[in-house]
Amino acid sequence: GKVIIGNIRAEWYGVKLGDNISVMGKNLTVAGILKSTNNMLVDQAVVMPLDYAQELFNRQGSVSCVLITAKETKKVESIASEIEASFPNLEVMTQKDMVKIVNDALANQKMFMDMINNTAMMVAIVIIITVMVMAVTERTKEIGTLRAIGASRFTILGIIMIESMFISLIAYLIGVVISIFLMGSWWGSIPVYLEFIGEESQLLVRTFVIIALVAVLGGLYPAYKAAKISPLEALRYE
């Protein structure tokens, strides 16, 4: 069989005229590629004869969706109302309704991602505090020696905070790898074509701020604890 596909669908498949694509396990030949219409349904569509589609999906004699294009945009709502009145058993959706559904899905996904980020941040702070407190305890003598040879409390504070930043950076790099995998799976589950302009730079800045905040909050108590260590007590510590 032959099909016509939308330009976005062609990009997804990486195909050109004459190539084959697989739909429901059937190999179909691309007979045409539609130019961009700025309509996500059309631009992502795979167009084929109705009877062939019904046979392919085992839906003989039935139609799941009818796409109607109004000549005048201002009449879309009135046309939708007329169709609803004439066919009360059908679900009628305008492009505005579909955009709202997509926006709601994106909003829910963002809320879910924010929840994960906030949870991860709290866990990271607890981990950093635990690790750094253990490190400070294990290095009490070392810190005492530094204090004894003239290192100020501010210097000790700085050393611990730098270590905290380093641990946070490692955690960030691990998180980036995991996030790339998870984000690819989640965004891929939304059936729309999205392009984010400038999103990458905003994400980098936001992530940097979060990492810095986690490092400061997580390292503050251990650094304060280390800075308060008395040289004499530290040197006697076993």
Q: How confident is the model at residue 102 (pLDDT cuts 50, 70, 90)?
A: confident
pLDDT for position 204: 57
Contacts of 127 (CB under 8 A, 6+ apart): 171, 218
Rounded to the nearest 10°, the torsion over CA 197, 203, 206, 212 is -150
pLDDT at 49: 87
Per-residue HEC secondary structure of 179-199 comes to HHHHHHHHHHCCCCCCCCCCH
Least confident interval from 63-77, 99-113, 124-138, 152-166: 124-138
Per residue in 41-70, pLDDT tens? 788 888 888 888 888 888 888 888 888 888
Q: Convert the pLDDT of each residue in 104-113 to its tens digit.
A: 888 887 787 7
Helices 95-138 and 153-188 pack at an angle, to 10 degrees, of: 150
- Is pTM beyond 0.75 here? no
